[in-house]
Amino acid sequence: MVVGTGSAGAVVANRLSADPSVRVVVLEAGKRDRDPFVHIPAGFSKLMRGPLDWDYLTEPQQGLAGRRVYWPRGKMLGGSSSMNAMMWVPGFAADYDAWGEQAGPSWDYAHLEPYLRQVESGPLVISEQRSPRASTAAWLTAVRECGHRVEEPTSAQPQGFCQTRVTQRRGARWSSADAYLKPKTVRKRKNLTVLTEATARRVVFAGDRAIGVEFDHKGGRTVVTARREVVLCAGAINTPQLLMLSGVGDHDQLARHGITTVAHRPAVGANLLDHLVVPLGFDVPYDTLFAAEKPLELLNYLLRRRGMLTSNVGEAYGFVKSRPELELPDLELIFAPAPFFDEAIGDPYLNHAVVMGPILLTPASSGVIALRSADPYDKPLIDPRYLTDPAGADREALMAGLRMCADIARSPALRGTIGRIARPLDATELDDDTLARALETVSHTLYHPVGTCRMGTDDASVVDPELRVRGVRALRIADASVMPTLIRGHTHAPTTVVGEKAADLIRSAH
């Protein structure tokens, strides 16, 4: 029994159902991924706030002037891999070694690297961009002029900047569902059942053993029983919510909502980590995705799978240190040749513009996912607590990254191209006052929540190194929620790796 078809869930369902003696039932709360904007790479923002989006909002953020931050999550076949920016950035070897320190050596880079190579050479298709903008090349020239290195995106310890590799096949999105659930050989398996528009309500227990999942489907409520195990792959928000609705969580919080405790696990929903980005916006005269919806671009895409609509928006990035004494980078700088303002959900920006900004990779601040009520349709409370670390290190690091972006914007390669400051609003100079205002007013999630059901060898962890939920039996978790720390990269790659390893752990247990 698998809940969720995202970056890990699709993998788990595929790998387990490869054994014809095993019957696998998969629940997906969302619909099929038939909307054309799922498959047209540059169209992913059209999905935001729509029926294929969970459409979450955080609690007001003290560190961001009290703003509530929009958190999109994919609610469809493929999960968030069907609406992300398709960036394949697996992170540093040292990030996985940090997992190994917390969850045992089988989770270090040496043990996970074979899974990463298997994914990259197998079902997922990792491609170079087909039609990157000339402004992206100019930005990479500018970062070189500012003393940064430009390199190929293949290293286990990246040292500089590059164009983004993307999860695309012939210019179209290639999601985890495309890779692991849709191939004909998988769809024909008689032992695999994938139910869409099937909302999991709770895990059903007999004593401390998970025996199935109660879910709503086609107007009715059903329980599917699991002879072996239940595997939750619903992501860093929905998995802890589902655990708590099922009685696995902090006893006091569950009691407040009238939920009987099956296992007292206070860490469920805690340790919420996310990457925060601060996008500075600039008007430019031409060559941006502002023109991506023109008829000729649509024709170019439909006939040749070329042109602006193949863009993933975040076309280039690089890793830097906010302080030279750091052993590894703590910031990523990202570039988008598009007016990607207000997370693309505000009023359309009627001009050519580009965005560049720092991403905080290793935040000292952490937050929590909590229940708002015992109703599974009531969105959970999401409080990432951005920039609340007492020492102020997160804010200081992002300010250093913003200053780097200001230097890049002033470089010779962009002279005559970078124009008026478009974000933050009403800014005229790239001074510290403007950069601090950007941090407060335009920063938002980079869509990488992790850690809310962290794995570890310690008794306080939610899952053990085999991904089994502590305190109960026959229940595992395989998604970004088990990651004890963020990686210096983007979460699609490591979440897929978690799915591959989880499938091996489950198969070896039976």
Which pLDDT tens digit goes with each residue over 342-363? 888 888 898 999 999 999 999 9
* Confidence (pLDDT) at 195: 98
Task: Tell the burial category of 34 from Cβ atoms under 10 Å away from its Cβ (0-12, 13-18, 19+).
Answer: exposed
What is the three-class DSSP state of 403?
A: helix
- The catalytic residue among 39, 148, 352, 448 is 448
CA distance 433 to 323: 20
* Confidence (pLDDT) at 209: 98
Task: Tell the burial category of 298 from Cβ atoms under 10 Å away from its Cβ (0-12, 13-18, 19+).
Answer: middle
Per the annotation, the verdict on 492 as an active-site residue is no
Per the annotation, the verdict on 448 as an active-site residue is yes
User: Residue 75 carries which side chain, given as an amino acid letter?
Assistant: K
Task: Tell the burial category of 179 from Cβ atoms under 10 Å away from its Cβ (0-12, 13-18, 19+).
Answer: buried
Which pLDDT tens digit goes with each residue over 222-238? 999 999 999 999 999 99
* Confidence (pLDDT) at 191: 98
- Model pTM above 0.85: yes
Which pLDDT tens digit goes with each residue over 177-220? 999 999 999 999 999 999 999 999 999 999 999 999 999 999 99
CA distance 372 to 190: 39
Domain limits of the chain?
1-127+169-272+369-378+449-510, 130-163+276-362+387-442
- The catalytic residue among 444, 490, 492, 510 is 490
Please name which of 404, 455, 372 lies closest in space to residue 139, comparing C-alpha atoms. 404
Q: Are 450 and 483 contacting, i.e. CB atoms less than 8 angstroms apart?
A: yes
- Helix 134-145 to helix 393-409 angle (10° resolution) is 110
Give the residue ranges of DSSP H helices in 378-446.
393-409, 432-441
Positions in the chain short of pLDDT 50: none
CATH number of 130-163+276-362+387-442: 3.30.410.40
Complete DSSP assignment for 311-354: --S--EEEEE-SSTT-SS--EEEEEESS---GGGTSSPP-S-EE
* Confidence (pLDDT) at 122: 86
* Confidence (pLDDT) at 345: 86
* Confidence (pLDDT) at 154: 73
Q: Are 239 and 481 contacting, i.e. CB atoms less than 8 angstroms apart?
A: yes
* Confidence (pLDDT) at 488: 96
Task: Write out the two tokens for 213.
Answer: 């999942």
* Confidence (pLDDT) at 343: 85
Q: How far is CA 242 from CA 118, 344, 371, 404, 411, in A?
A: 31, 29, 9, 41, 49
CATH number of 1-127+169-272+369-378+449-510: 3.50.50.60
User: Residue 108 carries which side chain, given as an amino acid letter?
Assistant: D
